[in-house]
Structure 1
């Protein structure tokens, strides 16, 4: 992985691990926002209302700086942490894993739980296609309609990601520009008459 790229998964995955009657069903998703994480968790809680636990681990951001691991009623450190450990061991970010547990009647103890959550997570991630993506700087571009062709041409040329666009008489585009291209392409965009380029946090 180059310093200007990060690695994530491109499709959802599932894993299924069983131990002494307990079922551990793992679901992995590529995600980009905390709202997406909430939506996926709510969906799984609706699909599995009778499960005893819905344990969660996620890491977000191109630098992986946002993360969370929850045990959802399991002994502290026995679920979320080993799940997050599997995400990190693969060097992934923008990934959510939820493990849904159906209790089978036998207590597994903390080592048994750590193994179960870790294994279910690993199974849900192991065969998924991984993609390297550019770390981007986010920018808002404002311009008049006649400049649209030039602006879109430059964004395409630098492999920018367009996240939002409103192309009326006066146009606004929110785009992610790959980090190695920022200096060159922001300068080129600002050279177009009437175009303003504002960095977004």
Structure 2
């Protein structure tokens, strides 16, 4: 009972974001809320419901902010750090922006994201439409590579019109011959041979039986 009261106090102390936009990235305040709720023993599903994101997002965030600390008795333990998660998130965003050939032309990248993600255009159709407004510094294959490697902020492979998920590989079961199967086959074959020799009246050597 006391733990539920403490959880309610923490949730009331930190502002709750209503109507969270889909695919919106977590903010520093939300990461601080995750850290506070995690210290109180909240599960990932409860935190996801509180912040209004998917459970998968919370699990990814917990992995992103995982740090190793040392207790007073010199024992090591792992926990979530909102500061570490925010630092890694910002570093990843800077690396993504620097990897694109469009450089500082974020308007072109945002236009590509809108055409493919919201209007469901193919990458080829998106480039053809944008050639009238922008100077495209990369080819169609390069654009596919950017999407598959996650170099866009809001655009992923799942957003492509004809995206197909790879089927999980199912190892085939090896067929194991039944014990004694070869011996039974040899006996049937020998009976057949003996029957043919008996009908023809030919002499059968002793090693042939």
In which range does the TM-score fall when normalised by the shorter chain? under 0.3
Bigger proportion of residues as helix: 2
Q: With the length of structure 1 as denominator, give the TM-score of the two structures.
A: 0.21
Q: With the length of structure 2 as denominator, give the TM-score of the two structures.
A: 0.20
Question: Which of these two proteins has the greater Rg computed from alpha carbons?
Answer: 2
